[in-house]
Each structure stands twice: as structure tokens, then as C-alpha cells.
Amino acid sequence: MKMAAGRFSPKKEKSLLPVWSRPDSYRDVVVAHLPFVLLTGLALLLPFWVPLRSLPLIRCTFLKVTGFPCPFCGFTRSFRSIQEGNIFLAVYNCPISLVIYEFVILFFVWHMAALLMRIKIESGCYRLCRSRRLWRIIGIVFFCNWVYRISLGMS
């Protein structure tokens, strides 16, 4: 059964295993993977470049307006703590930061490997990313993290 161009076949879409290909042009690989390498690399390196006394880099507008930290406040400090080896402080400051940090490392390695090997890697996990249930769970986890930070009076 032939599908329209640009659509995944049902068989390919059901698998969560990665599928890789070697495109004709390295440009296709760069377009697919370089943005993720830059974003995750920045998230991993920024805490090294910024002195601890300078955090947060940009004052949170949500905090200024409401007096409460936003759901994303504390991640840079937690990443910095993880990189310094102080896992307990990172988890105390932002409980989900350790899991987020591990995903950032995973994405960085995944996309950097694709760039270095000159292949385009497509994951079957894209189907999971379209799942409303997954996004509800992620939202609930971030909300619980936010409530935790507010209940301890963190900003």
C-alpha cells in the first residue's frame, strides 16, 4: 500500500526503534540534528560559563508580576549543582531537574552522534510525542514540581 509523500507508513510508525539513513546531502543531516545539538549543548555548558552569583541570568517576568516562581525557575541552578556533583541540592531545589538533565544529555549524544556519523536518525518516539496522555503526564509533573517549589517558598 503506497502512502502520500512525507507520511509514515503504518508499519514504520508502530515501531519505537530508531531508523537511520544516509541522505545524499550532509546538509539534510545538519538541518535535522544541528539545532538540537546547539540547544542541548547550550543547556549543558551554560551553567559552567555563568558564575553562580549571576544566576538567574534573566529575572523571571512571571515572578516579578505574581510574586511566585514560574514552573521553570530553578533549572539553571539545579543543572549547575548537578555539574558540580551536588545531586542532593539539585533535587532539593528542583526535583525533576535530574531527569530533565539526563534527557538533555541523551538528546545531545543522540544528535551529535548523528552529525559525526553523517546519518539521519529518526526515532519511533515521535509517535509518543503526539500522545496527549504523555503531555498531560508531563504537565502534571511540572505542576507538582512548581507546587513543591512554591510550598517551600523558593523563587
pLDDT digits (tens, 9 = 90+) for 33-72: 899 999 999 888 887 787 767 766 677 788 888 888 888 8
Q: Answer yes or no: is 69 within a domain.
A: yes
Q: CB 40: neighbour CB atoms within 10 A?
A: 20
Q: Answer yes or no: is 65 within a domain.
A: yes
Q: What amino acid is encoded at 29 in this protein?
A: V
Q: Answer yes or no: is 56 within a domain.
A: yes
Say which residue, 121 or 8, is predicted with more confidence: 121
pLDDT score, position 4: 44
Indicate the number of domains in the chain. 1
pLDDT digits (tens, 9 = 90+) for 87-101: 999 999 899 999 999
Q: Answer yes or no: is 9 within a domain.
A: no
Q: Over 80: is that where the pLDDT of 7 sits?
A: no
Q: Answer yes or no: is 15 within a domain.
A: no
Q: Which long-range contacts (CB under 8 A, 24 or more apart) does 143-152 make?
A: 143/71, 145/71, 145/94, 145/95, 145/96, 146/69, 146/70, 146/71, 148/95, 149/69, 149/73, 149/74, 149/94, 150/68, 150/69
The CA radius of gyration of the chain, in Å to the nearest whole number, is 19
In the structure, what pLDDT confidence band is assigned to residue 9 with cuts at 50, 70 and 90?
very low
Q: Answer yes or no: is 6 within a domain.
A: no
DSSP state of 95: T
Percent of the chain with pLDDT over 90: 29
Q: Global pTM?
A: 0.76
Q: Answer yes or no: is 3 within a domain.
A: no
In the structure, what pLDDT confidence band is assigned to residue 1 with cuts at 50, 70 and 90?
very low
In the structure, what pLDDT confidence band is assigned to residue 5 with cuts at 50, 70 and 90?
very low
**Domain that includes residue 83, residue range:** 24-151
